[in-house]
Chain A
């Protein structure tokens, strides 16, 4: 890492931080203690969504604080949480999935197709298109398009029609997985094996093993082929 410092603006206040740091490390370097808005530090959990702008570009930019390096004169704010209403539902009691979706999240139909959600998704997803697919009852498509969503909150923060795309998407994926998508045969077979007690003995053997034996078993374990 270089010795030079770059100026950045955290919630409007100027700090000089070493270049090459991620936004998250820069926040900590500047003296912030992260209690919320910081999770896996690996780009998966979606807790550290950040909005920023850089001079000379009118566009709002987004990134995960743990993944995005600082650049000179960037002005940023972290979005540890965005308030949304979460519907409660019992997947076993859902009748028509599309009608249920519209009852749980009636604002979904307010989507104008402006595509602002897509422009701020740090996962490079296209929330507008998964919402559109969900709204026409194409849950398979909506589930596929939204699969990599980390629910960071940015699309909900920016939506002019006040939708919460990721809550729509997680209902769709839950319903799709439970009721629409065919269950994989290998999973069905394995569950049947477990129910039939086929692995009870092996499990009892592990439970009774000494620490040394466990370590040996762990190191020699077989990896499932991908």
Chain B
């Protein structure tokens, strides 16, 4: 199976590990990702003003381009890209004025025919968690994992149509298929503070601390996510949190594709596990194949 793939800008630098582990783990499951030959930034944030069509141009062009190649799906893994592409696609399907304005400008005739898909959906619906379970080596047995969705993957519910927006379980289903232990905790869809980290650092740090403490209190040894910004906030703010809070216990925060890659026993250099602040490798060492 071959699916057009939109990596997104962050996956080309800060979140290299997300890109590499997504390509490697999906390839191991028989899904080949074909990166779009030309692409721009998706726009990063879906415009909140309903008539800000300029903010939708880039995403609409990307989607129309994929449709023009005769494809019917586009895969992206970054939660922000997924959110923007999917919501602009929704506008193209349901907002006639937006569709006409954007098509007039782009000189395209696109009506939202592309289905924007996430690797979690591919794992569940195309590959199947049973098939994934059969391919794993059970090397994660006993590892306690908390799944973190944040906002972008699941909200707003109508446009995103991704699992249950209040209580999504798709990542937990995958963790169970990988043979690890799911940790339930109340903050899996709490916003991490997102890009407010740039000017409201204290506020975001407190939110992150609450999320992490909640997962750790429930026994989690690692947190997984699909969002580069959630990963950054949850992982890289731990240095300062530790400095300010005696007794704070650090916890590795990795991408779900990295955990998937470990379970599939992929070469560790293809997973980018060394790119995090809290190093997940000691925890996963027992599960890791030796360095080649």
B82 CB → nearest A CB, Å: 17
Name the residue of chain A whose CB is nearest to the CB of B59.
A113
A138→B54 CA distance, assembly (Å): 25
User: What A residues does B105 contact at CB under 8 A?
Assistant: 114
* A68 within 8 A of partner (CB): no
Name the residue of chain A whose CB is nearest to the CB of B9.
A136
A113→B40 CA distance, assembly (Å): 7
**Contact pattern, B 19-55, Cβ under 8 Å of A = 1, otherwise 0:** 0000000000000000000111101000000000011
User: What B residues does A126 contact at CB under 8 A?
Assistant: 38
A66 CB → nearest B CB, Å: 30
**Contact pattern, A 102-142, Cβ under 8 Å of B = 1, otherwise 0:** 00000000011111000000000010110010011110000
User: What B residues does A128 contact at CB under 8 A?
Assistant: 40
Q: Contacts A112-B55, A114-B54; is A132 near B39 (CB within 8 Å)? A: yes
Are B61 and A135 touching (Cβ within 8 A)? Answer: no
A60 CB → nearest B CB, Å: 15
Are A135 and B41 touching (Cβ within 8 A)? Answer: yes
User: What B residues does A132 contact at CB under 8 A?
Assistant: 9, 39-41
* B195 within 8 A of partner (CB): no
* B220 within 8 A of partner (CB): no
**Contact pattern, A 136-168, Cβ under 8 Å of B = 1, otherwise 0:** 111000000000000000000000000000000
Are A114 and B41 touching (Cβ within 8 A)? Answer: no
* B12 within 8 A of partner (CB): yes
- Residue with the highest number of chain B CB atoms closer than 10 Å, among A98, A126, A132, A136: A136
Q: Contacts A113-B57, A115-B61, A129-B38; is A136 near B12 (CB within 8 Å)? A: yes
User: What A residues does B9 contact at CB under 8 A?
Assistant: 132, 135-136
User: What A residues does B43 contact at CB under 8 A?
Assistant: 112-113
Name the residue of chain A whose CB is nearest to the CB of B37.
A129
Are A137 and B38 touching (Cβ within 8 A)? Answer: no
- A-B pairs, 6 with minimum CB distance: A113-B58, A136-B12, A132-B40, A136-B9, A137-B13, A113-B40
- Residues of A near any B CB (own CB < 8 A): 98, 111-115, 126, 128-129, 132, 135-138
Cβ contacts A to B, 20 pairs, < 8 Å: A111-B41, A112-B43, A112-B55, A112-B57, A112-B58, A113-B40, A113-B43, A113-B58, A113-B61, A114-B54, A114-B57, A114-B105, A115-B57, A129-B38, A129-B39, A132-B40, A132-B41, A135-B9, A136-B9, A136-B13
